[in-house]
A and B are shown apart, each in its own frame.
Chain A
Amino acid sequence: MAEPGRALPVPTPETQGFWDGTNAGELRLQRCDACGKNYFPPRPFCPGCASRKVSWFKASGKAVLWSYVIHHRPVPGFKPPYAIAVVQLAEGPRMMTNIVECAQTPEALQLDMELEVVFEKQNDTITLPLFRPVAAKG
């Protein structure tokens, strides 16, 4: 029997656009057509001004490492120690993620280091956005 994998998201009607984006290799955020605010997580109205006129757009995938912990306890789908990180996207919002193609150590994981999104397919419906150091690009 396969080992249990990591917890996977179940999209809702309001978030489906985000997960459609990751499946297509795009990091999609939303922008308010009224006030211009970029925001995340997804919802069909602006959390800044409450306008329902909002649009999806493809984000650059550029980010910096904002904060993290290095988890030392076992969790299905992970091999400790591993970092649970929050990144600051170039467009403004922050999101939780994992940092890949990088040693999971305090020395390797420096706050404000430049990152870029990579997509890791989990199954036919879910692809997760992960981030790697820009220097790691092959």
Chain B
Amino acid sequence: MRRNAVTVVGAAETTKLGVIPDMSQIQLHADAALNAMADCGLRPKDIDGIATAGETPVQLAHYLGITPTWVDGTSVGGCSFMIHVRHAAAAIEAGLAKTILITHGESGRSRVGVAGRSVAASSLNGQFEQPYGPMGPPSMFTIPVLRYMKTYGVTEEQIAQVCVVQREWAAKNPRATFKTPITTDDVLNSRMIAWPFRLLMCCLVTDGGGALILTSAERAKDFKTKPVYILGTGESVETPMVSQMEDFTSSRAFRVAGPTAFQQAGISVNDVDHLMIYDAFAHLPIYGLEDLGFLPRGEAAAFIAARNTAPGGSLPLNTNGGGLSYMHSGMYGMYALQESVRQMRGVAAAQVPDAKISVCHGVGGMFAASGTIIFTNQEP
């Protein structure tokens, strides 16, 4: 076994997903945490490290009754949880903690127990973006896409295909919010949100949570769950302002985080059996496939439209249905991680046969941040 290998031994989502008006946000964290502890037979007193975003590690420790020797409150949007996994693996390797709990919970739809969201008018975003009329991610995360489409000759129909293919995966998943098959025309005829983006090209807004428990591979042998090894990790950030991205056709944070993880894992894209790319909007899988090196620039939309990432295709992508069809609470990264762990345990609703390596790639903010985790179920 590789020295100091770290594994996921506990993983679970909240018991319910979707619309959960009877739970506050901190309780969604706790519900997922209790499920993850039950998954691997631990109690709060067994946890000595915690990481979370959305709520603070202080709130989480107090609420769950944990006395940590290590905390991480990295909060850079939806990929915070990938970055927590990376930091937790390093902390376990360094001996700073033995058993780390990472939680996510978000009352994204019901907004129960959630602080209000606002952009400070004196921040750079408040001064140089908000005055021009954006209202959250649907009108901001989408701004670079026309430049991508013009540069590579990509069509609205091809972008709509991302949504169609992911709905096919969701149809296989009893826990997915949307399971009814859709066509390209359904996507293009859905309500216009921010041209060229229609409603079905935008993620869901739902309630839910998820939690992971990490420990050393040596200790993992004491747990009844099948160990899922962390093979490689990467992280980066670029800019809080989408208007200030270096390149509107590619994410610098993706291009740093992804290759860092592949290098550490010692694998190439050809070794990947299963892939998750955080899909807050339909263009994210396209940017991700290219920035992680799966495809040359400009080719990912046609690759998806040709059904290579669909059920039965060569590169199963977003097999839970993704943020577009499975669920999206606001910071979706935890659900992508959960699906990678299920695939590596062999228990996913749409299980990829014999999958040995899963890549889980997250975005935070609007191309602001990124985290990549590479999992395997083979002892490294």
A-to-B contact residues, CB < 8 Å: 6-12, 15, 40-41, 66-73, 75, 77-78, 81-82, 84-86, 94-98, 106, 111-112, 128
A77 CA to B138 CA, complexed, in Å: 18
A65 CA to B127 CA, complexed, in Å: 20
Q: Most chain-A CB neighbours within 10 Å: which of B121, B131, B132, B139?
A: B132
Contact (Cβ within 8 A) A128 B131:
yes
Contact (A67, B248) CB under 8 Å given A73-B193, A75-B133, A106-B195: yes
* Sample of 5 more A-B contacts, CB < 8 Å, known A15-B124, A71-B134: A10-B120, A12-B122, A67-B146, A73-B135, A128-B131
A2 CA to B273 CA, complexed, in Å: 58
Instruction: Give the residues in chain B near A112, CB-CB below 8 Å.
Output: 150
Contact (Cβ within 8 A) A69 B197:
yes
- Please tell me if B145 contacts chain A, counting CB pairs below 8 Å: yes
Instruction: Give the residues in chain A near B130, CB-CB below 8 Å.
Output: 7, 9
Find B128's partner among A67, A70, A71, A95 (CB 8 Å cutoff). Answer: A95
Contact residues of B between 144 and 187, Cβ < 8 Å to A: 144-147, 150
Instruction: Give the residues in chain A near B194, CB-CB below 8 Å.
Output: 69-73, 84
Instruction: Give the residues in chain A near B143, CB-CB below 8 Å.
Output: 67-69, 84-86, 96
A90 CA to B33 CA, complexed, in Å: 52
Contact (Cβ within 8 A) A77 B133:
yes
Contact (Cβ within 8 A) A9 B128:
yes
Interface string of B246-266 (1 = CB under 8 A from A): 001000000000000000000
Instruction: Give the residues in chain A near B135, CB-CB below 8 Å.
Output: 71, 73, 75
The 6 A-B residue pairs whose C-beta atoms are closest, nearest first, are: A9-B127, A69-B194, A70-B195, A67-B147, A10-B122, A96-B243
- Please tell me if B142 contacts chain A, counting CB pairs below 8 Å: yes
Give the Cβ gap from B18 to chain A, nearest Cβ, in Å. 23
Q: Most chain-B CB neighbours within 10 Å: which of A77, A94, A96?
A: A96
Instruction: Give the residues in chain B near A111, CB-CB below 8 Å.
Output: 146-147, 150
- Please tell me if B192 contacts chain A, counting CB pairs below 8 Å: yes
A72 CA to B130 CA, complexed, in Å: 16
Find A68's partner among B121, B128, B146 (CB 8 Å cutoff). Answer: B146
Instruction: Give the residues in chain B near A8, CB-CB below 8 Å.
Output: 121, 131
A67 CA to B135 CA, complexed, in Å: 17
Contact (Cβ within 8 A) B124 A41:
yes
Contact (Cβ within 8 A) B121 A7:
yes
8 inter-chain pairs at a CB distance below 8 angstroms, sorted by A residue, are: A6-B133, A7-B130, A9-B130, A69-B142, A71-B135, A84-B132, A96-B134, A96-B241
Instruction: Give the residues in chain A near B270, CB-CB below 8 Å.
Output: none
Instruction: Give the residues in chain B near A68, CB-CB below 8 Å.
Output: 143, 146
- Please tell me if B196 contacts chain A, counting CB pairs below 8 Å: yes
Cβ-closest chain A residue relative to B135: A75
A8 CA to B133 CA, complexed, in Å: 10
Contact (Cβ within 8 A) A81 B195:
yes
Cβ-closest chain A residue relative to B248: A67
Contact (A96, B132) CB under 8 Å given A72-B193, A86-B143: yes
A62 CA to B305 CA, complexed, in Å: 38
Contact (Cβ within 8 A) B122 A82:
no
Give the Cβ gap from B302 to chain A, nearest Cβ, in Å. 21
Cβ-closest chain A residue relative to B146: A67
Instruction: Give the residues in chain B near A82, CB-CB below 8 Å.
Output: 133
Give the Cβ gap from A46 to chain B, nearest Cβ, in Å. 15
Contact (A98, B132) CB under 8 Å given A41-B127, A72-B193, A111-B150: yes
